[in-house]
Amino acid sequence: MKNILITGGCGFVGTNLAIFLKSKKFVVNTLDNFNRKGSRYNYKILKDNKIKNFNIDITNLKKILNLPKYDLIIDCCAEAAVEVSKNEIDRVFNTNLVGTLNILKKIRKDKSKIIFLSTSRVYPLKDLNNLVKNKNIKKKLNLKKKFNERDNIQGPKSLYGFTKLASEMLIEEFSFLFKIKFIINRCGVLSGPLQFGKQDQGFVSLWVWKHMNKEKLDYIGYGGHGNQVRDVLHIKDLCNLILIQIKKMNKINNKIFTVGGSLKSYTSLVELTKICQKITKNKILIGKSKTTSIYDIPYFITDNKLVKKTYNWSPKKNIYDVVKDTYKWIFQNKKKLIKYF
């Protein structure tokens, strides 16, 4: 496999992957319509690396079918913010689900393969919320539960989570019907350089940015104590995994993997604040917003057992590395980044 198209390729994951795979001698193109603010910044980096971007809306089937032929499409295109899916239902459905359908039609036409970036948000809100006694989490959570490919997926999970799970199922249907080879990575939180975090998506980079700029933040939901827990996979670890998956795709395919920082790299918001204070040497005001969004979850830690056994891969970087590397990127580019955060 030589020619790769990365959809959502000017996003956080897409840009990191594009540059990484180009450095490994693949021919990489990206597709992105700059829907996300920071994507214009990332586009300049792609251009510097001589990576061509097609400014196409993923919902435009005609334009997608007219793109050159690729051996592999890595589908990283989505509206990735869970909260946005409450209000912008049509856009989220079209981008996340119709977008995947269009990519599958292109893959069918070209007889190529797909690697799909899915999410831990395919698991039902109820199962995640049932892990804690009530919505006022006063103390540090000390849970043992790790989520894997076999965990229950039945039940409301957010419209975002629905579109990603529906995309997973669509990929399986196309694979069954048209013999398309696929890999689905169901990822926990991903973070690192080139991520333009917002309160509801990309919280680690937002935390680093706010600490560096001495701006106020809020602990939102679950009583406003900041005790929610997430694992956070460093983007470098994800890139390394995808490279192995590409190399082995002819032999290992048609599988779903849960992929995340797991116990190597996880944090609560309170712990993240301490790490940011240490690394940026700044202390900021953090407010409390007690109300919990209907789409929020208190906890997520990934079980990497299957992906580890299959590829002999596990995360090498921890949450300190994620914060340190994000800090370094922001520190070196602060002035240029202001208008994108």
Nearer to ligand NAD, 94 or 227 (CB): 94
Nearer to ligand NAD, 192 or 298 (CB): 192
Q: 226 near 219, Cβ under 8 Å?
A: yes
**Strand pairing partners for 187?**
119, 259
Least distance in angstroms from the C-beta of 119 to ligand NAD: 4
Least distance in angstroms from the C-beta of 285 to ligand NAD: 26
Nearer to ligand NAD, 117 or 249 (CB): 117
- Summarize as ranges the residues that interact with ligand NAD (CB under 6 A): 8, 10-14, 32-36, 39, 57-59, 76-80, 95, 117, 119, 164, 187, 189-190
| Extended strands (E) in the chain | 3-7, 27-31, 52-54, 72-75, 113-119, 182-187, 189-191, 217-220, 229-234, 255-259, 266-268, 286-289, 299-300
Least distance in angstroms from the C-beta of 214 to ligand NAD: 25
Nearer to ligand NAD, 36 or 211 (CB): 36
Least distance in angstroms from the C-beta of 146 to ligand NAD: 16
Q: 255 near 183, Cβ under 8 Å?
A: yes
Note the maximum CA span of the chain.
56
Least distance in angstroms from the C-beta of 48 to ligand NAD: 17
Sign of the Cα pseudo-torsion (220, 292, 229, 225, in order): positive
- What CA–CA distance (Å, rounded) separates 300 from 133? 15
For ligand NAD, the nearest residue by Cβ is 11
Nearer to ligand NAD, 34 or 311 (CB): 34
